[in-house]
Chain A
Amino acid sequence: MATRRPNEFEKAFQNLEKIVQRLEGEEMPLDESLQLFEEGIRLSRFCHQRLEEVEKKIELILADVKGQPVTEPFEDEELHEDEELVE
């Protein structure tokens, strides 16, 4: 079974899920629920931030003679036509 180390985003997401479950499923003092609420909001901000943080780009990647990655710009006329059509 191949397993993958859960990344920060997944941890934050899972913690947010747990908070929702606890808030909805447990009786707890108001203080505690407000603390969980704050933590939940913080996690959701983190998730949103991570969702947008990867820079939008399209490029070519291939191996050089030493097997190291090199990138090149990717140009595709039809893609631009498509984008114009969408617009």
Chain B
Amino acid sequence: MRAVTAAQTYSVSDLLRDVNLQLYRFNDVSVEGEVSNFVRSAAGHLYFTLKDARAQIKVVLFATNARFLRFRIENGLQLIVRGRLTIYEQKGEFQLNAVSAEPAGIGALQLAFEQLKKKLAEEGLFDPARKKPLPMLPQRIAVVTSPTGAAIRDILHVLGRRFEGLSLQIYPVRVQGPTAGREIAAALRHLSKWKLHDVVLICRGGGSLEDLWAFNEEVVARAVAACEIPTISGVGHETDFTICDFVADLRAPTPSAAAEIVIRAKSEICMQVDTMVRRVRNVVESRVRNIRHELRHLSSSDRLGIVVRRVAMARERLERRRISLYRLLDARAKTLRRRLDAANEPLARFPTRVARERQHLRATVATLQAVSPLSVLSRGYAIAFSRTRRGRKPIQDSSQVKVGEQIEVQLKRGRLEATVDRHTLGVESIWPEVGET
């Protein structure tokens, strides 16, 4: 059985202070493990647990050190943490007081890049629908870059003599170092507010990931996204991709390529305008040519012949119509005439009656003539008249006259005045004896 007390009894404080002193040989250690229970305090201190399959340790990374981290610490991350081991005396907790942390197996910058890229992508900052279209004719160009860097020289070289109708204004910024990101972001904010330009080029020549880092900073990415002028990002070489490239409206592989895009836009527009003018001309000219051709064709004998034939056909048609019209009129006239004739029939019969009556008259006249005294006279008879006071009176009885009385004798031709010598009485044959008168 052992005694309850050992050789020495510590107060709690003394013990922990003593242990802390013993831990001095772990004053600068690096330990690798997986992050869990990550918490960030309002003051910016980071608390998490680092663990492997069998053990775990609490880690604290105070804000003064945490602000130098380029990547975000998050649960599940395999991390190499450097710091010193202590016991947090107030709580009696064993912990690693970290001064820095590095992701295991991958560069911190690379991790930071991936993390920011993932975060912004989730926010939709790379969404193609967010991309502003480049202006058709970018003429007023702003370039956010170093005025002494390789990028601006490349750009000016590309533009070279194809500079007509372009204005280039360089917004000078540092493109490397701790303030570069903030300067670039400020430049973009100003340009966006001024709206003096058609397009903003964000450029830097080639370099390491470290050199290009400013273009991977969140502050730059946010400023690019917020820029109201269309942006073209041309950072580093073709193989370098930056967050700025993803957010910009257009990514050019290099600063030279960014300048190419701008200058090509202009010369292509020029060409397109010329092409359209040519097409307009072609259409109208061929139109006029066609019409002229058509006119010539029309006036040629062949075509004219068609016209003549057409006229002849029309005339023939007219003639046929006229004939049938005549026939129609003729038939109608005949009908009318027939009807007229029918109406005239009593009238037509009328002359025969006249003739008959005329004949009858002639017969009557003949009878009259036959009984006329004149016709008796013409057969040799004479009529004797006595003269009375009432004129002449035919003598039918010899007793009508006295002897010695003057009488008249009417002959066929002429008249005799005679005196009665004697008269005989009685009825006697009217036929006188021959030689007696």
Chain A residues in the interface with B (C-beta under 8 A): 1-4, 7, 9-10, 13, 16-17, 19-20, 23-24, 30, 33-34, 36-37, 40-41, 44, 47-48, 50-63, 67, 69, 71, 74, 76, 78-79, 82-83, 86
- Establish whether residues A17 and B276, one from each chain, have CB atoms under 8 Å apart when the complex forms: yes
Given A44-B273, A74-B170, CB of A10 within 8 Å of CB of B153: no
B165 surroundings in chain A (CB, below 8 A): 51-54, 56
B130 surroundings in chain A (CB, below 8 A): 1-2
- Establish whether residues B277 and A51, one from each chain, have CB atoms under 8 Å apart when the complex forms: no
B31 interface residue (CB < 8 Å to A)? no
A13 surroundings in chain B (CB, below 8 A): 136-137, 269, 272-273
Contact pick for B167, options A16, A33, A36, A56, CB 8 Å: A56
Given A1-B130, A54-B139, A62-B172, CB of A76 within 8 Å of CB of B156: yes
Residue of A at shortest CB range from B130? A2
- Establish whether residues B136 and A41, one from each chain, have CB atoms under 8 Å apart when the complex forms: no
25 contacts between A and B (CB under 8 A): A1-B130, A2-B130, A2-B228, A3-B132, A10-B136, A10-B137, A16-B273, A20-B280, A23-B280, A30-B288, A33-B287, A40-B276, A41-B277, A47-B273, A52-B165, A54-B167, A56-B163, A61-B142, A61-B169, A63-B186, A67-B193, A69-B194, A82-B156, A86-B160, A86-B161
Among B133, B137, B172, B280, the one with the most A-chain Cβ atoms within 10 Å of its Cβ is: B280
B166 interface residue (CB < 8 Å to A)? yes
Contact string against A for B residues 137-175, beta-carbon threshold 8 Å, 1 for contact and 0 otherwise? 101101000010000110011001101111111111000
Q: Which residues in window 393-428 of B have CB below 8 A to A?
A: none
Given A13-B136, A16-B273, A56-B163, CB of A51 within 8 Å of CB of B168: no
Interface of A is mostly: helix
CA distance A55 to B167 in the complex (A): 6
- Establish whether residues A33 and B284, one from each chain, have CB atoms under 8 Å apart when the complex forms: yes
- Establish whether residues B190 and A67, one from each chain, have CB atoms under 8 Å apart when the complex forms: yes
Which A-B residue pairs are the 5 nearest by beta carbons?
A61-B169, A40-B280, A2-B132, A23-B283, A54-B139
Q: Which residues in window 170-215 of B have CB below 8 A to A?
A: 170-172, 186-187, 190, 193-194, 196
- Establish whether residues B169 and A71, one from each chain, have CB atoms under 8 Å apart when the complex forms: yes
Tally of chain B residues near chain A (CB < 8 A): 52
- Establish whether residues B273 and A24, one from each chain, have CB atoms under 8 Å apart when the complex forms: no
CA distance A34 to B287 in the complex (A): 10
Residue of A at shortest CB range from B168? A58
Among B163, B169, B172, the one with the most A-chain Cβ atoms within 10 Å of its Cβ is: B169
CA distance A9 to B165 in the complex (A): 13
Residue of A at shortest CB range from B173? A62
Contact pick for A10, options B131, B135, B167, CB 8 Å: B135
Given contacts A10-B136, A76-B156, 20 further A-B contacts (CB under 8 A): A2-B131, A2-B228, A13-B137, A20-B280, A20-B283, A33-B283, A33-B284, A44-B274, A44-B280, A50-B137, A54-B165, A57-B167, A59-B168, A60-B169, A63-B186, A69-B190, A69-B194, A69-B196, A74-B170, A76-B152
Given A20-B280, A61-B142, A62-B171, CB of A56 within 8 Å of CB of B194: no
